[in-house]
């Protein structure tokens, strides 16, 4: 039996209208209609989540961030329990843009992960090295994994999806470069070994590892096939309905 794969869309601060969000969501649902062993997750801005969930078509819904408390005097924050009530199943945490632009540390991400798990959300944890850390990737990535997952309930760890997202390969990073599938494969193997060392083989092998970093329809299937990961996190390409449809179909094709 083929292992289930994931195609996750990160819309970031897009699109600009609810109407456009509904259109993108609907077209993604049509492209995911007849695929097997593939879960398509749309991580949308907070403002659109509830409306998208009410019109779900073969898709799961996620958020792009959450706060580390479930309620309280925290003006402007959105709690994990609110997201769960709105229909979310997943939440992206630790994205490199949150780390870089908003100063999020591993310790902050750790608090968010534990809060998300307590609300029965499945965290999509982004980890990855910067260009200057490339020669010491093991140290950089190991630190992120240990710090971000510290103290999380072992029984819930299997619900986390790990995204290997090398910061130097993201298109919005200055002087970005493509990450070859063989390099992504090496990193994913290293991450899997770390998880098994931390949590034991039964739990470590259940944790899904996917790739993120300027994924498009030309390379999505290559990453899944050659890097032997469990799926892809898609940024800009997920905002083009035709392009995102090609990605869904190319990954689904591998599982036939």
Active site residue 183: no
The SS3 call for residue 60 is strand
Choosing from 95, 97, 104, 129, which is the catalytic residue? 95
Q: Provide the 3-class DSSP secondary structure of residue 41.
A: strand
Question: Is 95 annotated as catalytic?
Answer: yes
What is the CB neighbour count within 10 angstroms for residue 100? 14
**Partner residues linked to 39 by β-bridges:** 6
Nearest 5°: CA angle at 80, between 130 and 82? 140
CA torsion sign for 194, 172, 228, 161 is positive
Q: Within 13 Å of residue 152, how many CA atoms lie on the same side as its CB?
A: 32
Annotated catalytic residue, options 97, 135, 165, 243 = 165
Catalytic residues: 95, 165
């Amino acid at each position: 039996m083929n292992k289930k794969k994931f195609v996750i869309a990160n819309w970031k601060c897009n699109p600009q209208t609810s109407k456009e969000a509904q259109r993108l969501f609907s077209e993604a649902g049509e492209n995911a209609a007849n695929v097997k062993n593939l879960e398509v997750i749309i991580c949308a801005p907070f403002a659109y989540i509830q409306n998208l969930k009410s019109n779900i078509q073969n898709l799961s819904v996620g958020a792009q961030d959450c706060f580390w408390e479930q309620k309280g005097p925290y003006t402007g924050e959105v709690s994990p329990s609110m997201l769960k009530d709105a229909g979310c199943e997943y939440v992206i945490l630790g994205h490199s843009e949150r780390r870089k632009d908003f100063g999020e540390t591993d310790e902050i991400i750790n608090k968010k992960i534990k809060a998300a798990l307590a609300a029965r959300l499945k965290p999509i944890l982004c980890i990855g090295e910067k260009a200057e850390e490339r020669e010491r990737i093991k140290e950089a990535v190991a630190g992120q994994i240990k710090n971000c997952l510290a103290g999380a309930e072992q029984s819930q760890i299997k619900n986390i999806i790990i995204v290997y997202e090398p910061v130097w390969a993201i298109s919005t990073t200055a002087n970005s470069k493509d990450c070859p599938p063989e390099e992504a494969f090496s990193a994913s193997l290293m991450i899997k070994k770390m998880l098994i060392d931390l949590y034991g083989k039964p739990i470590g092998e259940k944790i899904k590892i996917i790739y993120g970093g300027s994924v498009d329809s030309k390379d999505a299937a290559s990453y899944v096939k050659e890097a032997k990961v469990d799926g892809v996190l898609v940024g800009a390409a997920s905002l083009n309905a035709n392009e995102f449809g090609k990605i869904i179909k190319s990954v689904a094709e591998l599982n036939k």
